[in-house]
Chain A
């Protein structure tokens, strides 16, 4: 089945540690995104990538890093510099950035303990 796979679903991190969230898509989409969702709030864009080997900061990029070495993969690293990392993280993709429908993965819950 085509879609977006995020892993892990649940992740616990100790303070001071970096963690990486995986996102893989087999939809042959050029554009990929990472969003953060906090309880009772809308989505905020962390990073996006229009094409392989290229990515841009979104509204809340501080404390996060990404890479786009392959078209199908867009991992997100939550670094120790992110002061409040506990949240629900959503990966998404679209054919391109021209206003086409965005498809989402099922999300990853990150909790700092």
Chain B
């Protein structure tokens, strides 16, 4: 069946460090892939998405590339800020009714 696996958190980094949060998936066909972010006490916001292989989604300095050969969609940012502290969710879908969510990765950025 379809599934999404994220690296366990929390991930703790110093400000201006390079960030990678790993996300791998299993699915048949060509699902769309998403990263959502959840700030403390709030709902989720779409961070970026990719709809086909080799697509790169980007937003607010974050990037993720849809790698079909490695079934991955790792989230990266070159220089993190304290304000990036949040929980990040990887998800895949072929339709919104079949969204599959990862467990989330908590990111803590220390000044």
Contact = CB atoms under 8 A, between A and B. Distances in A.
B96 A43 contact: no
A2 interface: no
Contacts of A99: 32, 51, 93-96
Interface residues of B, number: 22
B74 interface: no
Contacts of A97: 95-97
A92 B99 CA distance: 12
B43 interface: yes
Contact of B43 (A96, A101, A104): A104
A41 B104 CA distance: 7
B42 interface: yes
A45 B42 contact: no
Contacts of B99: 43, 45, 102
B102 A42 contact: yes
Nearest to A100: B96
B104 A101 contact: no
Q: Which of B42, B95, B97 has the most CB of A within 10 A?
A: B97
A45 to B, nearest CB: 7
Given A42-B102, A42-B104, A101 B97 contact: no
6 contacts: A40-B104, A43-B101, A56-B97, A97-B97, A99-B94, A107-B41
Interface of A: 4, 6, 31, 33, 40-43, 45, 48, 50, 56, 90, 92, 94, 96-107
Interface of B: 32, 34, 36, 41-46, 49, 51, 89, 93-97, 99, 101-104
